[in-house]
Each structure stands twice: as structure tokens, then as C-alpha cells.
Structure 1
Amino acid sequence: MEIQVRNATAADIPSAARTLAAAFHDYPWTRWSVPAADYAERLEELQGLYLHHALGCGLVLVDDKQRGVAALLPPDAPEPGALAQERIAELLGDRLHALLATELPEHPAGSWDLATIGVDPDSQGKGVASAILAEALRRLDSYRAATALETSAARNVALYSRHGFTVTATTEIPHGPVVHSMLRCAADI
């Protein structure tokens, strides 16, 4: 089964946000960082805000059946606008201070950020994430750009490793998840 990957449009964002919210429902980082009250609704709205931001300044990819989505930000990406930041702070509520106090290693200069990639739970294990990730990396290789990411799910390390990423740091968040920082250098083309 060939999986077609394309650029997302603004019309794709609501569906893509739902996909990411379903994919990250039990993810250690989001369970730790998003308040439990109205968790699913908060998570979906946060994903939508982040995707709109990435669509405006980076790269958002979806598969042809919208089972998966990835968002990547260039090294010079600005912060989300003031209104989006205000809403993000409201959605994060009492978890905002913990997030702001969390220190993760900085991405290497000039590297793109694989901010998120997720697949609807019913489609996981069918090659959707690999297809989207391979297309994203193919595009970044044309820029000769390295790609950095963080994951708090140990099982994701194997997926990313298959695509050329290596673990550069492991951070244990006090009272929170373990976060693996990973990097993939640009492929020679």
C-alpha cells in the first residue's frame, strides 16, 4: 500500500489537530504538561494552535487519507503570535510554570525542529509515520538541514533511529517524563 504525502492546507488543520490529539492522548509528555481537566479538548485545541503556527512559518505534512500529520519548524521560526501564546498559556493553566522551568538541551544551530508527528491510533503500525517522516526528511535534505526532535516515548526512539536519528541527550524531568533528544544530520545528496 503506497502512502501519498502532501503539504497540509489551512482546511486540513482541524482534522490534523484531532489526529494528533488522538495520537498523543496517552503520550507521557502531554499527560504531564496538559492539565487533566478537559484534557482531550485542551490537547486538541493546543495541537490546532501549534499546527496553524507551523503552517505559517514551517512545514506541515499529511498523508492522503489524513491518518497522520507532521509539523516541522525552521531554525529561524518565530514564536507564535501574542494571541496564540495567550491562549496556549490559558490551556496549559497551572502546568505552564512547570513547562517554563523545564530545561531541555538546545537544538544545534541551523537545525530544523520536528515539532510533532502523530498517527491516528487505528492506523499506527501501518507505515504512515514512516512515510510522512521520510518525505519530510527528503525535503529537508534538499536544504542540507539537520533535524532535531524530542520524544518522551521510548518506543519512538526505534522509529526515529531507523530514519537516521541518534540520541544526543536523555533528560529526566522531575516528577515528569524522560525526554530523549535526537538529531539527524542532513544526508549527502
Structure 2
Amino acid sequence: MGVAIRRAGEGDRAHVIRLLDEAFMWDPVSTWVFPDEEHRRRRHSALMDAFFDLALGEGHIDITEDGAAVALWWSVRAASEADAESAAAADGPALLRRAVDPENERIELIGRLTEAAHPTDRAHQYLHMIAVRPDRQGEGLGTALIAPVLERCDKDGLHAYLEASSARSRGLYERLGFAVTETPLDLPDGPRMWPMWREPSGTV
């Protein structure tokens, strides 16, 4: 049986944020960003809310019809010198920290580290986050959400990129054709992330 998927919009905000909050509350990267559990429970959802806005502004959000899984995608174009100057002026990581948790330097730091690792020379689809409700994990919902976008990438000759935050997710993405880039991203005194790049099928 196939998995019904639709585009999420503003009306799905509360549900998507709850799902992201639940799915990532104990993720290695989230626990590094918010090492104090009580503080993480207070502020983690605000970060997920900011990510929801970014996905709507920079790409799209896919959600399963039953609301059990969601994927946040950004459409990233090849950067020009003007884009780099504009991004520097905006300083997204600093703005994110200010909006979510001003005293938390790690929000800004992880933004700068992932920004530095993110390829800018080729247009691509960026899988920023994917979340599956904990009691529905292992049913293939994540793959069902990702596969249609990758099929479009293959059809259009478009690359894809993501950062895996665990060895388990890294294995899933490798099975979908992603390959770890040369340099892993080690958070200071924290977990390792794996930037992963996917060439469109037939171009490798």
C-alpha cells in the first residue's frame, strides 16, 4: 500500500512543530544545542517553529496524509558573489539565535558550522529535516517522503544534500544514493554530523 503525501501549509504549523519537537527532542544534535533537559523542553519547539518558517520560505514541507511523518526541503540555487554578500549581511545564524534563544551560543554556532559545510556551487534540493512519529518509526515513512523528491531530482538532473545526525540515519540516506562528503562535521565537545551529497541518477 502506498503512502499518501501532501504539501503542508500554514494551517499545519502546530501539528508539524509538535511532530518535529517530539521526534528531535532526544536527537544527538538537539541535546548538544540544548544540553539542559529542562531548558530544552522549554525552547526546543521555538527552534522547530523557526525551521518551519524557513522551509516555507525557502522550499516546501511534505507531510504524510495521516500526519505521522514530515520532511522539510529547501530549494537551493547555485550561489553567486552577490548571494554571498547578501547572506553575510543578513547573518542568518545570529538572527536565528536572537529569535529562538538569545543566550544560547550553540544555536548560532551550529548554524555557522553547517553553513560553512553546505555546498554552494551547484543548485540542489536540501533535506533540512525529516521526522517520523516515534511510534511509527521503522515503517518506511521516511523513505516514502524522500523518494518522490529524489525521483524529481533524477528527472531534472538536480543534486540533493543533507546532514545526517546519526549513524542510523546515515545508513538510510546511503541506501537512497547519498554519499558522505570528504569532511565530517564534528560539533565542539559534541556529536558528529555527516554532510551527504547525492548526484542525480545516471550522472555519476
Shared fold, TM over 0.5: yes
Q: Which residue of 1 aligns with 2:84?
A: none
Against the structure 1 CA distance between its residues 119 and 179, is the aligned structure 2 distance closer, same or farther, given a 3 Å change threshold?
A: same
Against the structure 1 CA distance between its residues 139 and 6, is the aligned structure 2 distance closer, same or farther, given a 3 Å change threshold?
A: farther
Cα drift, residue 84 of structure 1: 6.0
Distance in structure 2 (CA, Å) of the matches to 1:149 and 1:13: 22
Note the residue ranges of structure 2 that are not aligned, 5 or more in a row. Answer: 80-86
Q: Which residue of 2 aligns with 1:106?
A: 118
Cα drift, residue 161 of structure 1: 1.1
Against the structure 1 CA distance between its residues 56 and 173, is the aligned structure 2 distance closer, same or farther, given a 3 Å change threshold?
A: closer
Cα drift, residue 13 of structure 1: 1.8
Against the structure 1 CA distance between its residues 141 and 51, is the aligned structure 2 distance closer, same or farther, given a 3 Å change threshold?
A: farther
Q: Which residue of 2 aligns with 1:17?
A: 17
Secondary structure of the 1:65 match is: coil
Secondary structure of the 2:70 match is: strand
Q: Which residue of 1 aligns with 2:98?
A: 86
Q: Which residue of 2 aligns with 1:65?
A: 66
Q: Which residue of 2 aligns with 1:45?
A: 46
Secondary structure of the 2:188 match is: coil
Distance in structure 2 (CA, Å) of the matches to 1:137 and 1:187: 9
1:34-84 CA-partner distances (Å, limit 9, x unpaired): 35243133222211221122112202100011111111111149776x976
Cα drift, residue 171 of structure 1: 2.6
Q: Which residue of 2 aligns with 1:132?
A: 145
Q: Which residue of 1 aligns with 2:163?
A: 150
Distance in structure 2 (CA, Å) of the matches to 1:142 and 1:40: 41
Secondary structure of the 1:133 match is: helix
Answer with 94-103 or 153-162: which moved more. Answer: 94-103
Residues 125 and 161 in structure 2, CA contact (< 8 A), matched pair in contact too: yes
Against the structure 1 CA distance between its residues 35 and 143, is the aligned structure 2 distance closer, same or farther, given a 3 Å change threshold?
A: farther
Residues 110 and 187 in structure 2, CA contact (< 8 A), matched pair in contact too: no
Q: Which residue of 2 aligns with 1:172?
A: 186
Distance in structure 2 (CA, Å) of the matches to 1:65 and 1:50: 21
Residues 6 and 63 in structure 1, CA contact (< 8 A), matched pair in contact too: yes
Q: Which residue of 2 aligns with 1:122?
A: 135
Answer with 179-188 or 146-155: which moved more. Answer: 179-188
Q: Decide which structure has greater helix share.
A: 2
Residues 13 and 51 in structure 1, CA contact (< 8 A), matched pair in contact too: yes
Against the structure 1 CA distance between its residues 44 and 141, is the aligned structure 2 distance closer, same or farther, given a 3 Å change threshold?
A: farther
Distance in structure 2 (CA, Å) of the matches to 1:98 and 1:84: 11
Percent same amino acid among aligned pairs? 28
Q: Give the aligned CA root-mean-square deviation in angstroms.
A: 2.7
> How many positions carry a matched residue from both structures?
188
Secondary structure of the 2:161 match is: strand
